[in-house]
Chain A
Amino acid sequence: QVQLQESGPGLVKPSETLSLTCAVSGASINSYDWSWIRQPPGKGLEWIGYMYNGESRNHNPSLKSRVTISVDTTKNQFSLKLRSVTAADTAVYYCAKIESGNYDAFDIWGQGTVVTVSS
């Protein structure tokens, strides 16, 4: 049973870098592909980016290249960095597993972590 758990600071100052980690249990991180998704308060879901094969990465152009997604195979986890944050980046951040054999659907999600951008 694959499980995901996000972690990181709940409060980030404007212009700083948001850093989150998603710990994967129940499977090797090299066995699947992974994604980050966020949800501003009271709003819908926004795809942030993904990584395939532990190396290839893509992110939402709307985030203007502020995104870095990386993997740490020794810790079986992957990470998100979002630079130069503003209040608009306040959201619940989710990590998710991509089921590549099933139309790249997000079949397993972490519980989400709340990040507030405020001074």
Chain B
Amino acid sequence: DIQMTQSPSSLSASVGDRVTITCRASQSISTYLNWYQQRPGKAPKLLIYGSSSLHGGVPSRFSGGRSGTDFTLTISSLQPEDFASYYCQQSYSAPYSFGQGTKLEIK
């Protein structure tokens, strides 16, 4: 099974900051890496699929990158609505697996 290791588990930042969350796969998953945002008490929402493609309606301040088995989610300028939890997920092979999550909090 493929393990996804996400870091950091929590992050404090201010409105306007640039932040990056990292996800590492335990083996090659090509670009089968997706990112989700989850606000408290709500269902997750797809942000990025295929490691770098923005899902429809997602603001352009979100971007995804890849270097080998390391993946990044970057928010270029934090907005108040971005304070939430973020999860990576590999869809390369079943069982599909998620990272442990990153909780982004207001500093």
- Contact partner, A94, options B34, B43, B95, B101, Cβ 8 Å: B43
- Contact partner, A47, options B46, B49, B95, Cβ 8 Å: B95
Interface residues on A, range: 20 to 34
Taking a contact as CB atoms under 8 Å apart, the answer to whether B96 and A102 are in contact is no
- Contact partner, A106, options B46, B53, B97, Cβ 8 Å: B46
B22 within 8 A of A: no
Taking a contact as CB atoms under 8 Å apart, the answer to whether B50 and A102 are in contact is yes
Taking a contact as CB atoms under 8 Å apart, the answer to whether B46 and A107 are in contact is yes
Taking a contact as CB atoms under 8 Å apart, the answer to whether B44 and A102 are in contact is no
Taking a contact as CB atoms under 8 Å apart, the answer to whether B99 and A106 are in contact is no
Docked complex Cα distance between A29 and B32 (Å): 24
> A110-B43, A112-B43 are contacts. A50–B94 as well, Cβ < 8 Å?
yes
Docked complex Cα distance between A106 and B42 (Å): 15
Taking a contact as CB atoms under 8 Å apart, the answer to whether A102 and B32 are in contact is no
Q: Which of B15-53 contact A (CB under 8 A)?
A: 31-34, 36, 42-46, 49-50, 53
Number of B positions contacting A (CB below 8 A): 26
A60 within 8 A of B: yes
Q: Most chain-B Cβ atoms within 10 A of its Cβ — which of A35, A45, A59?
A: A45
- Contact partner, B43, options A44, A103, A111, Cβ 8 Å: A111
Taking a contact as CB atoms under 8 Å apart, the answer to whether B44 and A106 are in contact is yes
Taking a contact as CB atoms under 8 Å apart, the answer to whether B49 and A44 are in contact is no
Taking a contact as CB atoms under 8 Å apart, the answer to whether B91 and A45 are in contact is no
Mask of A43-60 contacts with B, CB within 8 angstroms, 1/0: 011110010000000111
- Contact partner, A102, options B36, B42, B49, Cβ 8 Å: B49
B89 within 8 A of A: yes
B100 within 8 A of A: yes
Q: Which residues of B contact A (CB under 8 A)?
A: 1, 31-34, 36, 42-46, 49-50, 53, 55, 87, 89, 91, 94-101
Task: Using A35-B96, A47-B96 as known contacts, list a sample of 7 further A-B pairs with CB atoms less than 8 Å apart, ordered by residue number in A.
Answer: A47-B89, A47-B97, A47-B98, A58-B94, A59-B95, A61-B1, A103-B50
